[in-house]
A and B are shown apart, each in its own frame.
Chain A
Amino acid sequence: VAGMKGSELIKRMIRNYFYIFGCIMFLITILRQIFKPESSYDLKTIYIIMLFSLLSSIPGAVLLGTNKKISEMEMRIRAVIHFTLLELILVVLAWILGYVTDMVSGIVMASEVAIVYGMVRVLLWKSDKKSADLINEKLKEQKHGN
């Protein structure tokens, strides 16, 4: 992670960690309220989620949060590695928690993660495209004004 100070990296990791942990807890609480209101968290589950939130925060901070100047191709390779690591971490977490029990459920889970990841990417790109179009319109206006 050349180009990024250790303190910056740790700060980014801690921030990511709390985002991930908060989101998981929020979603699990809502989903349990809807589908399994009678069940409760045991301490072990919380520790497992804490551990995996930490593991999930590392690839993002290390691979995508660097200040080093990196090319478009290198950035894409990093995004692929990031996605693969996330898949791995999430499937292993689901397996430990007992949501994934065999190969088929593992593949289904990995596919779901891939679809959500892809959808987020597409939505993000569409929103960026809209921003870029607005900017280009203003740039054109500015050039014609001069």
Chain B
Amino acid sequence: MKVSIEEISRDKEEEVVIRCHEVNDDVIGMLNKLKTDSHILIGYDGDNIHRIKMEDIYYFDSVDSKVFIYCKDKVFESKQKLYELEELCRGKEFFRASKSSILNITKISYIRPSMSGRFEATMDNNEKVMVSRQYVPVLKTMLGI
């Protein structure tokens, strides 16, 4: 297998592109090795595979059994289940905000109660994400309240 490394300038995003004839066990094994870095997650954008730093992630959201990684202005699909991501996020600044989402605390701008009895978190990129009231105590504990 040919291995190519291309050095890029700091202003460009680092990326690993695997060109293969088919996604077989060897390719998945390689992907898993890349995934073992706990600060990096693999996100898919069509045919492109991206390595995403945990600190760049705003939140994870699951829609119709697919899990998406939301960054500042990009969305990637994850092949991991939400509970697997929750496990990976353990001990980091992430918390389960509802049955379908996990939020990065450092990317929350502010939070406010909604009239429906839930909470609404506004992220630094102005996206709004619902927080179930049952998970608010988890957030409070993580913030030391």
Contact = CB atoms under 8 A, between A and B. Distances in A.
A142 interface: yes
12 contacts: A64-B117, A72-B116, A125-B115, A128-B117, A129-B112, A134-B140, A135-B140, A136-B110, A138-B144, A138-B145, A139-B105, A139-B108
Nearest to A77: B116
Contacts of B105: 139, 142
B115 A135 contact: no
Nearest to A138: B143
A75 B110 contact: no
Contacts of B117: 64, 75, 79, 121, 124, 128
A101 interface: no
Contacts of B139: 135
Contacts of B16: none
Nearest to B63: A69
Interface of B: 63, 99-100, 105-106, 108-120, 130, 133, 136, 139-140, 143-145
A39 interface: no
Contacts of B108: 139
A134 B140 CA distance: 8
Contact of A75 (B63, B106, B113, B118): B118
A134 B145 CA distance: 8
Nearest to B133: A128
Interface in A74-109: 75-76, 78-79
A23 interface: no
Contact of B106 (A124, A125, A146): A146
Contacts of B140: 131, 134-135
A132 interface: yes
Given A128-B119, A128-B133, A135 B113 contact: no
